[in-house]
Each structure stands twice: as C-alpha cells, then as structure tokens.
Amino acid sequence: NAGVMQNPRHLVRRRGQEARLRCSPMKGHSHVYWYRQLPEEGLKFMVYLQKENIIDESGMPKERFSAEFPKEGPSILRIQQVVRGDSAAYFCASSPVGGDSYEQYFGPGTRLTVT
C-alpha cells in the first residue's frame, strides 16, 4: 500500500513564476491537508480538502495561493507569482475520515526554492 506521494520533491522557480505542487493521497483516503514548513519552524496548516470541496482554507494566504482536489487525480497546491518568501517545504497529508486529526499520514514534501 503506497503512502502519500508528492511531486516534485524539489522545485525551483524564479520570482513571478507559478509553482504547482501535487499530492496523491493514500489509497482509500479522501481527505487531504496541506501544510507549510519554514526553516526551523513547525508545520503550519494551510488548507483541508475533500474530493471537489474545500473544507477549511483558514491557513491559506489570501492572494496567489489556491488548492484543489478534483474528483479524479491528485490534489494540487498552486502558487502564482511566487516570491522569495514562498520558499519552504510544503507537506501534504491524507486521512481516511474527516473530523479527527490523529490519522493524518504525511508525504515526503516538496521543497520549493524561489530564486
């Protein structure tokens, strides 16, 4: 049973470009969470999605960031017009049910570097 998959593992973008991060949840999981980790900091929640629905985006910056989890295919975290401050590790987690935080399984992360 494959775990949570994220790609790419490393992504380099110039300022002003777009970054697309993908997350494939574990088989049987229909809930996806995105977190951002800045250097020497813990993970900060960004958004929680179910298939075709955004449940909670309270941690998402208001501009340039968006997320989706379509009926088919992986969840996508999209960052438009990236800036240096977007450089971070972005982690995706999935769970089989919603409403309980204890069964989140994390992917290996995408490390975004903005030059």
Partner 1 sequence: AQSVTQPDIHITVSEGASLELRCNYSYGATPYLFWYVQSPGQGLQLLLKYFSGDTLVQGIKGFEAEFKRSQSSFNLRKPSVHWSDAAEYFCAVGAQRSYIPTFGRGTSLIVHP
Binding site for partner 1 (CB under 8 A): 4, 6, 31, 33, 40-45, 48, 56, 91, 93, 95, 98-102, 104-109
3 CB-contact burial (10 Å; exposed 0-12 / middle 13-18 / buried 19+) = middle
20 CB-contact burial (10 Å; exposed 0-12 / middle 13-18 / buried 19+) = middle
CB atoms within 10 A of CB 24: 19
Q: Which is nearer to partner 1, 17 or 76 (CB)?
A: 76
Q: How far is the CB of 20 from partner 1 (least distance, A)?
A: 19
Q: How far is the CB of 69 from partner 1 (least distance, A)?
A: 15
Q: Which is nearer to partner 1, 13 or 31 (CB)?
A: 31
Q: How far is the CB of 53 from partner 1 (least distance, A)?
A: 14
Q: Which is nearer to partner 1, 79 or 93 (CB)?
A: 93
Q: How far is the CB of 89 from partner 1 (least distance, A)?
A: 9
Residue type, 9: R
DSSP letters of 41-56? Answer: S-EEEEEEEETTEEEE
